[in-house]
Amino acid sequence: MRALLNYEAPELQDSGVVSERGDVYSFGVVMLELLTGRKPYDSSRPRHEQHLVRWASSQLHDIESLSKMVDPSIRGQCSEKALSRFADIISRCIQQPEFRPPMSEIVQDLARLVNATGEESE
């Protein structure tokens, strides 16, 4: 059960009310894991880096910081533009609940990103 808390939206921990916006947050955490190669919570890291969302959220809009936080196993495999777009999608998922988009919008954004990335590589 403790592992689930690492994916839960903060408001769910407070209210206990499950919502689509909470699911969007959880999906954002999964995408952040894919981007960084880190777990949502890692007690072996320095205290300010233990909570993935808290650590990463302030770095998602700075391309230099963003490039450094990418999982080394995938670093350099996509353009800075694609990386920045992916980070923007993640950022939208993990923001305050009233500002999180519906999952359908996230899916559309990811589809556009995949299509644009495919066109860049041609």
Residue 92: pLDDT over 70: yes
Distance from C-alpha of 48 to C-alpha of 97, rounded to nearest angstrom:
23
DSSP state of 51: B
CA–CA separation, 12 vs 87, rounded Å?
A: 23
The residues with which 41 forms a beta bridge, in sequence order, are: 51
CB 30 within 8 A of CB 7: yes
Whole-model pTM: value is 0.89
Indicate the fold that domain 2-110 takes in CATH.
Transferase(Phosphotransferase); domain 1 (1.10.510)
Per-residue confidence (pLDDT) for residue 6, from 0 to 100: 84
Q: How far apart are CA 10 and CA 112, in angstroms?
A: 29
Q: Tens of pLDDT along 2-55?
A: 455 688 898 887 777 788 999 999 999 999 999 999 999 999 999 999 999 999
Instruction: Say which DSSP state 100 is in.
Output: P
Domain ranges in the chain are: 2-110
